[in-house]
Structure 1
């Protein structure tokens, strides 16, 4: 009896091996088959889909989506130009430190390209006042805070000190 089972199983295996497959895929020069363009033939009722069919469909749809270019990082609105001083909410470029017989003063250029001459104790803007001008730094009072802007010793990693 077992011999008959082995014989039948062997004949079925030989028949399956030498039988030409029904769903053979042929490649034409005009048609290029890839995972993104392959369509899975599924049953007409989507509720009866197997898990692997759902995964296949999801991956095929993901591959068929148009690729979007990567987003460029947003630049902050107020970038401090190189070599400028941030006083209050404005950027100023220091043009020079000068001495008159009666007082020291500095010459600044603001964002609007206007040149401003400021003496010690005078207001740079409505919120900022020039406190002192020294040989190596400028002290500016903004509100209740005094900021020291160092001159001639500027490095990239140096941060202005706040007193």
Structure 2
């Protein structure tokens, strides 16, 4: 079950281990920050996204709860991401993907414009998904490591709802 949830958190982009022109995998060249591709930025303030997720979950905002840091894939190294997520997932992913690190209270977001364009999504719906995991842990007291499929189902539901309401996509 834990492995299934970890794979669900990875998303489609994390399943491949791309190689560069030397045949080196992303893991082997982890100290290099991702190349400067076209990146997207959030349309909405993270606080707004949190407030909307909390409204949908019928939870009040609590200013005493620490808001997670947000790091974009284009601004970090693969090693930094792996170090942050390995304990939670039980492995070191080959690519940076969308994730919420419970221990670090940090949300990691892919910001490759081509990815969001190809999938008809916006980066803000990915943020809503990861903020849902934050709310599950910080506001609701859930444990992601011992979770069942309902944790991911809940996050996907919130992501789709946010996309329909605020990203202009179905």
Structure number, greater radius of gyration: 1
More RCO (CA 8 Å, sep 6+): 2
Q: Which has the higher helix share?
A: 2
Q: Which has the higher strand share?
A: 1
TM-score, length of structure 1 as denominator length = 0.21
TM-score, length of structure 2 as denominator length = 0.20
